[in-house]
Structure 1
Amino acid sequence: MRGAAWSTTLAALPLPVFAAASPAAAPDARTAFPLIAHGIPAAILIDADADSAVRHVATNFAADLERVSGTAARRIDGAAGAVEGPMVIIGVLGHSAVIDRLVAAGKIAPTDLRGEWEAFRQIVVDDPMPGVPRALVIIGSDRRGAVFGTYDVSERIGVSPWHWFADVPVRRQRDVLIPAGSRRDQPKVRYRGFFINDEDPCLSGWAKKAFGGVNAAMYAHVFELLLRMKGNYLWPAMWGKAFADDDPASMVLADAMGVVMGNSHHEPMLRAQAEWHRHADQGVTGGAWDYDKNRANLRAFWRGGIERMMAKGGGQRYDSLVTVGMRGDGDEAMAEGTATGLLERIVADQRTIIADVTGKPASATPQVWALYKEVQDYYDHGMKVPDDVTLLFSDDNWGQIRRLPDPAAPPRAGGYGIYYHFDYVGGPRNYKWINTNQIEKTWQQMDLAYRRGAAQIWIVNVGDIKPMEYPLGFFLAQAWNPDAMTPAAVADYPRAWATATFGPEQARAIGEIVTRYSQYVARRKPELIDQDSFPIGGVTAKGLDGGEFGTMVADWDALEARTLAVRAA
């Protein structure tokens, strides 16, 4: 079933390929699936006992079909019954009675999905059940596979992942045909996500005004955005905030939608730093953030984080990736002279807590140790790390990855990952609130990391989310399939992004403007510019030579003129 009619070459690019097909390239209506016919969308069928993540994506997919067609899509939970006509069937292989019946009847044979991580297959099937002449069957190897396979269709019919966060419009269409055949895809980086950080006052102020705070109502949109971009992993906002404590419904919703939650590089054991100070009056938290002086309180504090992870019941945990290790209070370095042995003992004690609370070996719970700033120095000097813990290397906060896996080293069960920055608050200077990142540089660094074996976790600090739509979309597209993000694909990405965001008419011009803007703004971060940054030339017969400063002003003036021309067109 590989290599059938559906194109896989555009999987990493935000293109509505079904919607944009020219008449000459339109699918054969005799064999294609009519997702929308004469303004009427196909019905959507899921199992009555479908996983919560499948339920969420089915609801959102129905809304997407209405956005495109203008007509509400019918969703059916359970047997199709008397429903007739085209149907979209969404389910998880081995966990969906509907899907398993189609397999047993020989209608589909998705054997290449079994046991895979977040894989999906989309298949056009004739006569899947009585009264249904043709169906689009979206099968996930697991629940997130089903989610990604469904949102993949949404994006390809013209619903941008940013339709809510960036108000990207959806073009109405009376007819959408999906070509016959089958299409399979799955990620090549296991955990892919972003870190909301330095979020005051922008995101926090907006969330308070719109939702009453950084709560589950706000995170519902963040989770949806992440999943639509085929990401699965989130470090939540942490400036004075505590994800699971501020609104316990946030953690429940993340798990229900299929999002893997963690905490930042300096917040171990699923505990926000704010919680340590917030509940000091309860006696089990607070005090010195010092393992030598306050070990009992720290252990109790960390145990509470793992107990909360296991509060789902039935011996099940909320889907989480546990940060281990320790930095100084407030994301600062540990005390000078901290011994490597102390950090090793801290992690050993944390893993003992994990095993004790979960009732399983610590290795059964995914863990990550972030080698950020001075923590990497401990590793470089021989710090021992359990083999099943993912080592998360970091950039230097400015886009240069400091260390990569050694190709000569034996493979690790936990693998390697990368923590990258599009936004930063810290020494020597901050940079935030506007996008100053070049996707070409991001691609070069992350491609190098992938070629060297860092494929377990990719996570990027995006600050407030909102200014980083462009580089974040690129980062997660590359994370899904680094092999597909070739130099040619990188070069075409600005045009493809502009097409999906603004439409095809001015896409090439907009893509070129965004590329040039990214080049100019990355010359030096605005926060690092002063009166001496760019020299002015000397006096000439014609007057003062503008020098480097004058050249840059001219570049920006020309870019502004081009932008205004596109806007006026």
Structure 2
Amino acid sequence: MKKQVLSVFFLFVSQICWAQFKLFSGTPVTITCDISEKQVVNTALDLFSRDCQTVFSAPLQRSKKGNIIIGTAGKSSLLERYIDDVAVLKGKKQAFLLKVLPDNRLLIVGSDKHGTAYGIMELSRLIGVSPWEWWADVTPKKRNSFELPLGYEMLQFPSVEYRGVFINDEDWGLMPWSGNTYEPTTVKGEIGPRTNARVFELLLRLRANTYWPAMHECTQPFFLTKGNREVAAKYGIYIGGSHCEPMACSTAGEWPKRGKGDYNYVSNKEAVYKFWEERVKEVAEQEILYTIGMRGIHDGQMQGAKTAEEQKTVLERVLKDQRALLRKYANKDIEAVPQVFIPYKEVLYAYNAGLKVPEDVTLMWCDDNYGYIRHFPDKVEQERKGGNGVYYHVSYWGRPHDYLWLGTFSPALLYQQMKLAYDRGIQKIWILNVGDIKPAEYQIELFMDMAWDMEQVKKGGITAHLDNFLRREFGDKIGSHLVPIMLEHYRLAYIRKPEFMGNTRVEEKSPVYKVVKDLPWSEMEINQRLIAYSNLSDMVDAIGRTIPTNRENAYFELVKYPVQAATQMNRKLLSAQLARHGKAEWAQSDAAYDSITVLTQQYNALEDGKWKGLMDFQPRKLPVFMRVAKTIAVDSMLVERLATYKWNAMEYTFGEPIPCEGLGYEGKAAAIRKGTALSFEFEDWQSDSIEVDIRLLPNHPIEDEKLRFALSVDEVEKIISYATQGRSEEWKMNVLRNQAIRKVTFPIRKNGKHLLSIKALDEGVVLDQIRLYSN
């Protein structure tokens, strides 16, 4: 009897152990998939086939009884026997299910064509293929086998419906690289279908679905380039446009070629209307996310209307006519046509003047180009049928200074602002200005992961997300060692980006802003920063010697170049500042410039010249990027004023802050809820007055255009506002140094214990640091 029980037990265990989905090296991967599946599904299968060949040295083959069953719910007859399994997809857009069946086969089902494609790409991830396998040369590792256990089930669907990137300021990177290296062409400024296919492949692997094409005048417009439309359809990509690119028209590049007269809807309505009509007719069957409204050519004000009231009147006519075109050519059910209206610059004034935007249209809000969102939807805007979107920058050309080069945008700031945006109802469209894609790889993935599954990213936070990224690309051991290095790299750049180290500005009339000059830092501060960067560079070199051969180029692109180029940029400018005061040799600055040159040459030579022309360490040839001119300082170097007390927000004595992981000068900033306070206790003050230096995140109001706090020392309280308007001088200073600063003096009694408190009077107050000085 015991033997029979044991036999049954071992048979049961054996069945459990053997009941699993498996793939083996050298053995064809067989799939069962209806030939009627949409194009993007077959595109995903082509990518997965390539991945199988790379990982398993095995082809992908179709079979009536494949070990992977693939289909789209409600479209594929193959799924009739799995109705109960796919029920979880009902009512969800772009969702997918992966499930290991009792017969050891894997079921991949999408709620629609996009969901099915994402499900296939998820299997690529599971077998070890990074989304960056081509764009960052993360060569997949060979595997002998791969398995999933019986009962394995994964259901995923997006948090944000439309997720994508905007290729912008492409003049020094993507455009010349495409036309000269990757896809040689005789057409000036052309970014062709071969290049766009690679961009769209990346988006598909990142589970993104939207693309705003490059639109500078130097670039041949997307729809005027043969093959681009077709490749977008192949990858299931919605094509959209920025705040000045309505109706799928790249106005800056297309109006001089297709338009007649002035781009003016007041004096030249017929020509402008025809300009839009031709494009809508052409792309009516394409997946388009239509931007509606109107601005001037490129990033300029609308012609023919000066005041906000005049602009409002013209825009009302524009919106009516544009939607009539969409009804006529795209879909009679206008609410079935995805549309977005972007209240930006002068268009925002018209919107605030009472412009009525149809309820089904998504309102898209913008950051201030430096990562701080300017407007969050109010209750009425949150309840709109069309929802809300955001256009966000991790790369920027413009005032007060560009940051187009190194991709050092703070992941902690991106996480804090986009989480706040999501929580405030911005959940329909997320578009990220990525410049040339490289070297903003990590920021792109973080943005897309948050847009895909906000709750999953929130569970671990920013450090855990970065840790997962680095471990995936470089293995557990190396990845874990890289986390603190990259966190410190981003923290130092948060304090001041490499592009801002010359204390110069762009687009300013005064020539003083074109001259590299001292930053307001003491010799001690400068040396501390130089040491911090030197330590990072040394650690990057040490780890680099342990990197496997198949990941050496990925390491250079994702870690070595950004960290060491930032290190050398700081050395170049800070050594020059010391040299101006006779405290360093000019040779140190020159050597740093040479190092940047060599590093960039190495980048452009990677993979036998694959990236030649993509990396330019002198975009726009701005003064900050040049070899520093040797001059002698007229004024003395700043002497650091030592604070009697100094705290980061999270070093509070009393209160209930909202920690902002990794945010702030020392990574310890905290948000303060409206109506609550953080308090800091100190004692034995020796003078009759005290100067309080409050340093906050330079963000914008969340509600009612106000951003205030009450600051008190013992019984004395003062109300302080720090909201900035437009591109004021204060705003420029704030975004360059990444802090809003207020200095307040209080009377104080000597000796005894004291309490300093900062109470938020509005939502959005984020405290970074406090310093106390004796007067």
- Alignment CA distance shift 1:242-1:307 (3 Å): farther
Quick one: which of 507, 529, 532 aligns to 2:501?
529
Aligned twin of 2:279: 305
- Matched residue, 2:294: 326
Cα 1:188–1:506, aligned 2, differ >3 Å: closer, same or farther?
same
SS in 2 for 1:109: helix
* 2:450 corresponds to which of 464, 478, 486: 478
Deviation string 1:221-279 (CA, Å, 9 cap, x unpaired) is: 11110010011111011123355433242112212321111122210001112453342
Match of 1:140 in 2: 110
Query: 1:29 deviation in Å?
Result: 4.0
Deviation (angstroms), 1:308:
1.2
Q: 1:161 aligns with which of 131, 135, 140?
A: 131
- Judge conservation of contact 1:495–1:512 (CA < 8 Å) in 2: no
Q: Superposed, which structure 2 residues align to 1:156-195 within 5 Å?
A: 156-181=126-151, 182-195=153-166
CA contact (8 A) 1:44 1:58 kept: no
Q: Tell me the distance in 2 between the aligned counterparts of 1:402 and 1:73.
A: 49
**Equivalent of 2:82, from 91, 103, 107?**
103
Partner of 1:295: 269
> Aligned partners of 2:45, 2:382: CA distance in 1, in Å?
43
User: What SS does structure 1 have at the residue aligned with 2:340?
Assistant: strand
| Contact 1:535–1:548 (CA under 8 A) maintained in structure 2 | no
What is the aligned counterpart of 1:205 among 155, 176, 187?
Answer: 176
Q: Say if 2:249 is the partner of 1:271.
A: yes
Which of residues 34, 39, 43 is equivalent to 2:30? 43
The answer to whether the Cα contact below 8 Å between 2:252 and 2:297 also exists between their aligned partners in 1 is no
Evaluate the alpha carbon distance shift between residue 359 and residue 494 of structure 1 in structure 2; reply closer, same or farther with a 3 A threshold. closer
Higher mean Cα deviation, 322-331 or 40-49? 40-49
Q: Which amino acid aligns with 2:277?
A: R
Q: Which runs of 5+ in 1 are unaligned?
A: 1-26, 128-133, 311-316, 538-545
Q: 3-state SS of the aligned residue for 1:383? A: coil
User: Does 2:436 align with 1:464?
Assistant: yes
| Deviation of 1:330 (Å) | 1.7
| Structure 1 position 201, deviation (Å) | 2.3
Q: Which stretches in structure 2 are left out of the alignment for 5+ residues?
A: 1-14, 185-189, 503-515, 547-775
Counterpart residue type for residue 117 of structure 1? K
Q: Equivalent residue of 2:431, what SS?
A: strand
Q: 1:151 aligns with which of 121, 127, 133?
A: 121
Q: Which moved more, 1:358-367 or 1:60-69?
A: 358-367
Q: How many residues align?
A: 507
The one of 412, 417, 420 equivalent to 1:448 is: 420
Q: State how 1:552-563 maps to structure 2 within 5 Å.
A: 552-563=529-540
Contact 1:44 / 1:62 at 8 angstroms: preserved in 2? no
Shift of 1:28: 5.9
Amino acid at match of 1:427: R
Q: Provide the C-alpha distance between the structure 1 equivalents of 2:417 and 2:360, rounded to a whole number of angstroms.
A: 25
Structure 2 residue identity aligned to 1:69: F
Matches of 2:172 and 2:260 in 1, distance apart? 26
Separation in 2 of the partners of 1:435 and 1:475? 14
Q: Does 1:237 align with 2:214?
A: yes
SS at match of 2:227: helix
Distance in 1 of aligned mates of 2:163 and 2:223:
24
How many Å separate the matches in 2 of 1:232 and 1:259?
5
Moved more, 192-201 or 559-568: 559-568
Note the C-alpha offset of 1:410.
Answer: 6.2
Distance 2:378 2:521 in 1: 46
| Structure 1 residue matching 2:60: 3-state secondary structure | coil
Q: Distance in 2 between matches of 1:397 and 1:326?
A: 20
**Partner residue, 1:21:** none
CA distance, structure 2, for counterparts of residue 495 and residue 210 of structure 1: 32
1:547 to 508, 511, 524: 524
The structure with more radius of gyration: 2
Q: Higher relative contact order at CA 8 Å, sep ≥6: structure 1 or structure 2?
A: 1
Aligned partners of 2:25 and 2:57 also within 8 Å: no
Helix, strand or coil for the counterpart of 2:342? strand
Partner of 1:32: 20
**Aligned match of 1:18:** none
Per the alignment, residue 61 of structure 1 pairs with 48
**Amino acid in structure 2 at the alignment position of 1:256:** K
Alignment partner of 1:255 out of 212, 233, 237: 233
Output one character per residue of 1:317-373: Cα deviation in whole Å (capped at 9) or x when no partner.
Answer: 211110001112121233542522222221111111211223504322110011223
Letter in 1 for 2:21: F
In structure 2, distance between residues paired with 1:566 and 1:325: 51
User: Cα 1:435–1:112, aligned 2, differ >3 Å: closer, same or farther?
Assistant: same
Provide Cα deviations, 1:268-313, integer angstroms capped at 9, x if missing partner.
0011124533425xxxx13212111111110000111211112xxx
Change (3 A) 1:500 1:98: same
Alignment of 1:77-116 (within 5 A): 80=64, 87-100=67-80, 102-103=81-82, 108-116=84-92
Residues of 1 paired with 2:25 and 2:322: CA distance? 59
Amino acid at match of 2:126: R
One-letter identity of the residue aligned with 2:82: V
Given that 1:535 and 1:549 are in contact with CA atoms closer than 8 Å, whether structure 2 keeps it comes out as: no
In the alignment, what sits opposite 1:217?
A: 194
The 1-side partners of 2:328 and 2:353 are apart by 30
Name the SS of the counterpart of 1:239 in structure 2: coil
Quote the Cα distance in structure 1 between the aligned partners of 2:540 and 2:155. 39
On the 8 A contact 1:204/1:214 being kept in 2, the answer is: yes
C-alpha deviation, 1:39, in angstroms: 4.1
TM-score by length of 1: 0.85
Helix, strand or coil at the partner of 1:391: strand
Q: CA deviation at 1:120?
A: 0.7
8 Å Cα contact 2:241/2:249 also seen in 1:
yes
Give the superposed CA RMSD.
Answer: 2.0
Contact 1:40 1:71 in 2 (8 A): yes
Identical-pair percentage: 33
Q: SS at 2:231's partner residue?
A: helix
Q: Would you say the 8 A contact 1:495–1:511 is kept in 2?
A: yes
Q: CA deviation at 1:109?
A: 2.6
Partner of 2:339: 367
- Contact in 2 for aligned 1:29/1:177 (Cα 8 Å): no
Distance 2:88 2:479 in 1: 37
- Is 2:240–2:288's contact at 8 Å kept on the other side of the alignment? yes
Q: What is aligned with 2:462?
A: 490
Residue 420 of structure 1 deviates from its aligned partner by 0.2
* Offset, 1:41: 4.6
Report the AA paired with residue 188 of structure 1. Answer: S
Letter paired with 1:139: V
- Offset from partner CA, 1:62-92 (integer Å, 9 cap, x none): 211121112223234xxx1xx6xx6112110
TM-score (norm 2): 0.63
- Aligned residue number for residue 3 of structure 1: none
Q: Is this contact kept in 2: 1:371–1:392, CA < 8 A?
A: yes
For residues 521 and 451 of structure 2, what CA distance do their matches in structure 1 show? 42
Amino acid at match of 1:31: A
SS at match of 2:476: coil
Letter in 2 for 1:290: N
